[in-house]
Chain A
Amino acid sequence: MAAVHGDVHGHGHGDHHPTGIMRWVMTTNHKDIGTMYLWFALSMFFVGGTLAMGIRAELYQPGIQILEPELFNQFTTLHGLIMVFGAVMPAFVGFANWQVPMMIGAPDMAFARMNNWSFWLLPVAASFLIISFFVPGGAAAGGWTFYPPLSVQGGLGVDLMIFAVHILGASSIMGAINIITTILNMRAPGMTLMKMPMFVWTWLITAYLLVLVMPVLAGTVTMLLTDRHFGTSFFNAAGGGDPVLFQHIFWFFGHPEVYIMILPAFGIVSEIIPTFARKRLFGYSSMVYATASIALLSCFVWAHHMFTVGMPVVGQLFFMYMTMLIAVPTGVKVFNWTATMWQGSMTFETPMLFSIGFIFLFVIGGFSGVICAIVPIDIQVQETYYVIAHFHYVLVSGSLFALFAGAYYWIPKWTGRMYNETLGKWHFWLSMFFFNLTFFVQHFLGLAGMPRRIPDYALQFADFNMVSSIGAFGFGLTQILFVYIMVSCVRSGEPAPEKPWEGATTLEWTHLPTPAPYHSFETPPVIK
């Protein structure tokens, strides 16, 4: 019960704010904004998920049944864009908004109004993406990587997508600047950098990556826009440009982007494992260095997405070696988590289950990552279902599982209510089963030679595609359970104890009441 002493005075005056819808439109409170980010991400997750269900329904059997090829391409393109920019990234920013101030003992984010702005850009961008399905010519259909010259061929949908990416990029940059400033300037007295919780560290590094690469993406989509409409030829060989240039610039953004989506997941898992092992995180400083070196290396590996464009030998070898090197710090992280669990006193509530599930499946994704790094093998599996399997293992059972883990872990603190543990465990086991049913067989499809982004396939791929589709429908339905668990927790969950997780050691658990008050840490705690 020592948890409540933090800032006894200070909650008094801040609670008057507009009510109803205006509360959410005008809010500058990091908790309100965090909540909006999370609900937004969840709804985009279902939009992107619906597209995925469409894709898997078409691929259930060979032949064209429900989606014509052009519409199928629009589905795959928007599925990727919405999941990356609409679901996973905003969800992590939502966690940062809720948790970073509370974990470093700050009253709010550094730039509260910019925080509001960076959130409210998102629904605008999302509606551009969704509207694009209904404009003449339909949505962008060139894949979420929108390589020219194919993306130059599209109609208004491509322009809407470019505009949406601009807005999303602006939102991310603002969010990242806000997080960097908050972490560097607003830590409680005594919290040195090397005393920060891992989640805060991973977000600090992620935010720097965002500031580095989002402008690059903005630049490249702008070049695409001027190629489309203003007669430039950046990516058009006939005018002296180079289509491959686009891929270099895009992946200079795109590969760090991958780590933008996984580093905060590492952070969440690094908070949860020690809590439920009731033991300090093993190798804290090596975790920090590993995160930093992953981020640094991620800026030098972009062309491993392009091993088939025909680079010179030296280029291929350089990018192969750099990519393989990433396995070293990633391995360090996995070993550290294992060592944290070793001789702990573990319990297995839903957040812990999702964290262990995360490590287990992320490692499989890591293995296929190393295999993809080997140039000769990558040349076989590039642009096949093997790659689809690989990045869903790191993005779904990686980032998404960590997001689930974080949601179960922190929702008692956010709402003062407990989620239903039994249903939470069901959510985990069903997700685990259906996830693997969906994606494990895709390794086989890729090795056997099924290209990605095709609406129809040869007969030898039929069995595994059917298995994969069944898994996908199951996975999709399971996520409705997640919504039910969260909504019923927020509305009518059992009141949470002051400290539901006995092993938790970070400030939000030790220094704040449950639920966390609307304004917290107006007087900073002192860290010894």
Chain B
Amino acid sequence: MSSKLVASLAGIFGLALYSSMAIGSKYNLPEPQNFIAQDVYDQHIVLMWICLVIFIGVFGVMFYSVLKHRKSQGYKAANFHHSTSVEIVWTVIPVIILVLMAWPATKTVIAMKDTSEPDMTIKVTGYQWMWGYDYLQGDGEGISFYSKLSTPVAQIENKEPKGENYLLEVDNNLVVPVGKKVRLIITANDVIHAWWVPALAVKQDAIPGFIRDSWFEVDNPGIYRGQCAELCGKDHGYMPIVVEALEAEQYAEWVAEQQEKLAAEETSEKQKLGLVDGSIVTNEKS
């Protein structure tokens, strides 16, 4: 009875585990959206293969030994305890493997660091707990907004069912055009944050009082989600990043819309000021 129960429980558990792994992206890096992310993805795969081969080699030997060289099988211990030539071989071979690993990585590092000649520049500011974006240069210059988590508190407190993009949705997406080199200038207002979008292979700490830069390009239109990656206090888990990549025309429309909004805000601001001017403040001024 009980062994049947254990077996069926194990079966259910195994099935559950297997089905959860069946969805590809669940156990690897997200699908790359630019050549840097592609490089990272490919290098990771290559490294996994190298590790697997070494793993099978080392533990093949070790477990062969574990199975065969047992006292219980009457195996008598040999007496060797060093061999300079073998030791040199297994020092040199890993060095060669490491050089082979380091070579493509070096090229990617250099490419990642090359923020020169961007098509547009956006300043990213980390706050406790939201992001601020200022379009400094290029199409959309002058646009500026904050981007906050838009998941309702009720979902977090389990009072409502959780939405599809639970904790990965914001009120204002960072909108960029596809195929353009976007340079980010990153800083923070209070503590260290980190701006990270996995599919774009960008992760850069936002350090208060300092400016760091990074860059990305998006190959395909779409929405790419990320999160703050440096512990920044209570709501560290609640400051996602959403990048929305648009085709050139749609991006131009978005920019026009934003600039209209900006202009409207400015007028209303002035009107407000005008009201204020009309009453008490004028006396002091004039």
Interface residues of A (CB under 8 A from B): 62-65, 69-70, 73, 141-143, 147, 149-150, 153, 236-238, 242-244, 277-286, 308-310, 312-313, 316-317, 320-321, 324-325, 327-328, 331-332, 334-335, 338-339, 341-348, 356, 359-360, 363-364, 367, 370-371, 374-377, 379-380, 382-384, 443-444, 447-449, 451-460, 463-464, 467
Chain A residue contacts of B40, Cβ below 8 A: 376-377, 379-380
Beta-carbon contact of A347 and B29 below 8 Å? no
Beta-carbon contact of B55 and A363 below 8 Å? yes
Flag whether B201 is at the interface (Cβ < 8 A).
yes
Beta-carbon contact of A346 and B90 below 8 Å? no
Could you give 5 example pairs across A and B, Cβ below 8 Å?
A: A310-B213, A317-B109, A346-B70, A380-B29, A456-B237
Chain B residue contacts of A467, Cβ below 8 A: 17, 20
Chain B residue contacts of A73, Cβ below 8 A: 231, 233-234, 236
Beta-carbon contact of B58 and A338 below 8 Å? yes
Chain B residue contacts of A458, Cβ below 8 A: 165-168, 225
* Count of chain B residues near A, Cβ 8 A: 95
- Per DSSP, are chain B's interface residues mostly helix, strand or loop, or mixed? mixed
- Per DSSP, are chain A's interface residues mostly helix, strand or loop, or mixed? helix
* B191 nearest CB across to chain A (Å): 4
Residue of A nearest to B193 (CB): A150
* A229 nearest CB across to chain B (Å): 18
Beta-carbon contact of A338 and B62 below 8 Å? yes
Residue of B nearest to A324 (CB): B98
Beta-carbon contact of A444 and B27 below 8 Å? yes
Beta-carbon contact of A320 and B81 below 8 Å? no
Beta-carbon contact of B209 and A238 below 8 Å? yes
Chain B residue contacts of A449, Cβ below 8 A: 30, 198, 226-227
Q: How far is the CA of A236 from the CA of B191 in the complex (A)?
A: 10
Residue of B nearest to A336 (CB): B87
Chain A residue contacts of B29, Cβ below 8 A: 380, 447-448
The residue from A309, A334, A367 contacting B51, defined by CB atoms under 8 A apart: A367
Chain A residue contacts of B157, Cβ below 8 A: 63-64
The residue from A280, A444, A456 contacting B81, defined by CB atoms under 8 A apart: A280
Flag whether B105 is at the interface (Cβ < 8 A).
yes
* A236 nearest CB across to chain B (Å): 8
Chain B residue contacts of A238, Cβ below 8 A: 209
Known pairs A308-B204, A359-B62, A370-B47; A341 contacts B231 (CB<8 A): no
Beta-carbon contact of B58 and A147 below 8 Å? no
Chain A residue contacts of B91, Cβ below 8 A: 328, 331-332
Residue of B nearest to A240 (CB): B209
Known pairs A286-B82, A367-B55; A342 contacts B69 (CB<8 A): yes
Chain B residue contacts of A377, Cβ below 8 A: 40, 43-44, 47, 105
Beta-carbon contact of B167 and A344 below 8 Å? no
* A350 nearest CB across to chain B (Å): 15
* B66 nearest CB across to chain A (Å): 7
Flag whether B178 is at the interface (Cβ < 8 A).
no
Beta-carbon contact of A244 and B167 below 8 Å? no
Beta-carbon contact of A376 and B36 below 8 Å? yes
Beta-carbon contact of A374 and B166 below 8 Å? no
Beta-carbon contact of B59 and A370 below 8 Å? no
Beta-carbon contact of A147 and B71 below 8 Å? no
Known pairs A325-B98, A467-B17 / 5 extra A-B pairs, C-beta < 8 Å? A237-B209, A364-B55, A451-B229, A453-B237, A464-B26
* B83 nearest CB across to chain A (Å): 8
Chain A residue contacts of B201, Cβ below 8 A: 376, 379-380
The residue from A335, A376, A448 contacting B112, defined by CB atoms under 8 A apart: A376
Beta-carbon contact of B209 and A313 below 8 Å? no
